[in-house]
Amino acid sequence: MARLTKIKTRAKNGATEVLVLVNHPMETGQRVDPKTKQKIPAHFIQKMTIELNGKPVAVADLGVAISKDPLVGVMINGAKAGDKVKASWTDNKGESGNAETSV
């Protein structure tokens, strides 16, 4: 199942802020399905990598306590207009996704 991954950049205090939004349930594995009384298995993003022109700038390890549809932000110093920013992620079930934009 392809999940929607969005990336955008904006200038903030002389640096570039990169925001990544992924449409993902981020199940903790602790919630109980009210109908079946079974625990809903954990399903969450584990790794998110943000690259600038192909070089990793930020590698985030995320846990179950990140909210549903995670929005992750980092700042990059010295990024120029036209630079490529790419975000990619993988979750605990092997699903993955990525998105690319330019500053």
Partner 1 sequence: MNVKRRTLLKGTLATGALGLAAAAGILKPARVLAAEWPKNAFEAKTVDEALKDVYGAGQATQSKDITIKAPIQAENGAVVPISVETKLPNVESIGIMVKENATPLIATVALSNGAAGYFSARMKMAKTSDVNVYVKSGGKLYSATQQIKVTVGGCGG
Per DSSP, the three-state class of 63 is coil
Task: Please report how close the Cβ of residue 23 comes to partner 1 at its closest, in angstroms.
Answer: 14
First to last CA, the chain: 28
Q: If binding is defined by CB under 8 A, does position 99 make contact with partner 1?
A: no
Q: Give the separation between CA 94 and CA 81, rounded to whole angstroms.
A: 33
Q: If binding is defined by CB under 8 A, does position 9 make contact with partner 1?
A: no
Residue 23 tokens, joined: 């449409």
Q: Which of 3, 9, 46, 103 binds partner 1 (CB under 8 A)?
A: 46
Applying the rule CB under 8 A, the residues between 66 and 85 that interact with partner 1 are 66-68, 70-79
**Rg of the chain, C-alpha, whole Å:** 15
> What is the contact surface with partner 1 in residues (CB under 8 A)?
15, 17, 28, 30-32, 38-39, 41, 46-47, 52, 55-68, 70-79, 90, 92-93
